[in-house]
Structure 1
């Protein structure tokens, strides 16, 4: 999702793409974003005007849950916008219509080749917005406008009709400004936290992966996977991250036919990883199982607990250190009590320092949790092996 500057970011990105295409075909032509009547009054020598004449809400996207919200948590869904543009060429002189048609053709070819606005294109054209971090692409689609609608549009523009084409940009997701609520999770379920057990009675000829324990692990921790046919060759663990890519396959510490244990790298990035088992036979052939999702938990680093001052506007600013560092493109939240907070500044480089602003902060001591790509920091374990919330993972607001 993105911020409220996303509408301007789409317009600026379209202008940048069209300026490059139109400028090559018609030297000296400029791309503007003004109301059509103002462009007509200036009588430009050669120009293409990109005018946002309508913004609508996509009803189907309004029914989706907010990104990153877990069961039991609440939050407002993103505002899903569809932006409607009209592109109009302008020219003056003896060959004005021919020049205008060349401009229009170049613009339509450019948008035909840019059916989606790429993240790098958006970042270069609109560095003031974080639209380039939106997971859903912004697609540019031509729209057929009826003669009746064209007449109504240009009457509303209060300008003489010119040949033009219409496009829509879908979908632009803007974060809600209302805070969500993330209650503390349940640490154990029943006696010794025993869950349902199921046993399979069929086993095929190929290796299978059925479970990974624990589902969330710390960097450098041990991961146990269960399945079948692990005795068919050398057992390796293959880890893949949707943003960071894959790592070198890791050998197992212990292996039997149905279980293998691995030690994870200490510098493994937090977030959701895909874990698959790869078996290498004596002849060098490899067979890989299906992948399971494994969460790698972040950790709030020292010094803890944090201290913060309540500002005159009722807000507090918190700066935390995290381990491992987070990478650009990862979604990070600091949960203060039951209040999720997004970073105050977007980070363009890998960092272990994050700053947050807590509006309507309250004095007192509040528990802290760190969430990276929907994976939360893990609770501590007491001397008896029971999970507990760490006492130092907190902020004291004075």
Structure 2
């Protein structure tokens, strides 16, 4: 594939092709003997200040556009671990404006006519011609240094050949172009050159060839092959749902959740919880239920402090409020572990107690909650329909929070919710018929 030098290389090859073709056509006498093809912006093609201008052609790259056919061909370029799978290509179409300048009448038309005939007869740039032009740059000057670098563009080695097509620009488009150039209009024609494929080589992950389909038989040496079963349900252990207790929409610390699925069996069961977005994982022991499900109990929100430190998976400080990726791990009789698919679980804050104290018109609410709330979290207490922001948390984590508000009517009993990073504590008792507010999630206003 080409690299970042390919755009300049295309312009250089077209410039050389036009110049060589015009010289070979023998029209030097008709245009004054000297034929020049430049590749400059039109506003820089100036005369000598005497009212005359040089007779020449100018090839200007005025627009670069993505190629519709090749763009996006290599997506996706990275896997779930953000490791590179492919080197995506940058596919471009180049739009040129070919303009004739002349010192005398008819000279511009002669140059432009021969140039258009040459481009019409050479619609495809051959690989050999591209190599020859780029390998033999003119010598001398700073421009020659840039031209010598174009031999490294690999333009001749790209997958697609370079094709040249005429394009029609309407009066309005042409007028806008020359207005942007801030130059006097000269007779021009447009061409599209396609396609330039730019690709940089990077180290990437390349999997090894497959030697066997499944474990090989130690006696015969043959692999297990493709497993066939007469069921659309895969034979691998799979989770289909996570069911919090009491028909809740989320789980809380200290509660037992149920993992439902199929082919959930083994000698040992563990459940891994990975918190988003940092991916910190905690593993708890699970238990197989009689109907093929798995139950697991989350650590309590306020465990009694034992003499030694709590294990990491039992410490509520390691279970922040948020979304967890849950995976079941099962070990069979042979000691081999299998992991299920991943399902999300929402861990809600647990509002353990709330008290209210009034001083004049200001009511101060003190909330005890679990798990500990981190100082960086955004925390609100919703009293009835009033949302109160938490006072700043001084420690890295806290289980006691303070909120203040005014305008509350004394003697009212209002439901309360603790909102941590957009996740509310559970207010509704869904086991009641009809559902009702949980009486433990209320506060009486003094």
TM range (shorter): 0.3 to 0.5
What TM-score does the superposition give when structure 1 sets the normalisation length?
0.45
Q: Which has the larger radius of gyration?
A: 2
**Higher RCO structure (Cα 8 Å, ≥6 apart):** 1
What TM-score does the superposition give when structure 2 sets the normalisation length?
0.40
